[in-house]
Amino acid sequence: MSNNDIEHKIIQAEESIFDFVERFWMLTNHSDTEKEIVVIPDGRIDIFFSYSDTEPFHIALRGLESEPTQTMLPGKTIIFAVNLKLLAIEYLQELLVLIDLSLLLLCLLAL
């Protein structure tokens, strides 16, 4: 989908990462004004990388919604997302637990 203000692209993941990643997508608001959008849940978790002229670069996990939600997309905003499969979420959870344990161990060693 593409028009003068909003651009939306979807790219399917390559076979080498398809066990973990369903697709990549991008949403861009090219206009100077914010636009109302509707987010429809798809049962997957997304890692969002977003940037705009008015807000700093940030990363967020999204996708726990169970109903469509309306939100505003600020002007001059780019959102790039990685649409993860459940296997990737399980792997990330295990990785985060290991990182937490490592940080705890480092803090204990510093005492």
Could you read off the pLDDT of 50-62 as tens digits, one per residue? 999 888 898 888 8
Quick check: 2 pLDDT over 50? no
**Strand residues in the chain grouped as ranges (E):** 6-12, 21-29, 35-39, 45-52, 58-62, 69-73, 77-84
CA–CA separation, 5 vs 34, rounded Å?
Answer: 10
Are the C-beta atoms of 22 and 85 separated by less than 8 Å? yes
Q: What is the dihedral of CA 57, 98, 23, 3, to 10 degrees?
A: -10
Is the predicted pLDDT of residue 13 greater than 70, yes or no? yes
Residue-level pLDDT at 3:
58
What pLDDT does 17 receive?
85
